[in-house]
Amino acid sequence: MKKGKLMKIGLFIMLTVVLVFTSSISATSTVPEVSRVQYFTVQNNNVCSATDHHSIFYFNLNNISSVPVEMTVHFYNDVGDEITYAGSTGGSYGEYRPSSFIPGTPFSLNGKSTGHYYTGFGKNAILACNDIPAYGKIVIHSDTGLVMANGEIRGVDLRSTVGYRMLTLTPISVNGGNPF
């Protein structure tokens, strides 16, 4: 009788330890908070070559709140290498807004303002065609504030005698255009 009672007590203690251990593990999850992280894809199977074609990448971030938002934007190519090029300072004729953030580097975007990123790939560009982003993510470090993001990638033919001829234009949607 004593032996049976001791076994029941031992079993009870083991189950209690397992339950306590399991609940303490689930209370300290190692999964990052994804509500402040937005992933997006980029259609990078685009017109691009070192000799005739150029791809142009535009990306905008809008802080629609009245408080600054701390964030980091990451762009990755086909093989997962992070693109950390600072971006262009404007188009060859100054027609584009200069890049205002560096991918992979945390920055603050003031309330009611827009951050821009612009760069080219392929012919007459600093970056090679295989560096065109395939996907990205935006990590919001702030607890407050709302951000919207979008962009586009263009493929152009530079052989035209009247400038360039656009061959492709593909939008980049982040969170379906909704704030996050």
Look at the pTM and tell me if it is higher than 0.85: no
22 vs 150: which has the higher pLDDT: 150
Under a CB-based contact definition with an 8 Å cutoff, are residues 136 and 153 in contact? no
**pLDDT of 89:** 77
Which percentage of the chain shows pLDDT scores above 70?
76
pLDDT band for position 5 (cuts 50, 70, 90)? low
pLDDT of residue 138: 98
Both ends of the chain: CA-CA distance in Å? 64
3-class secondary-structure state, position 32: coil
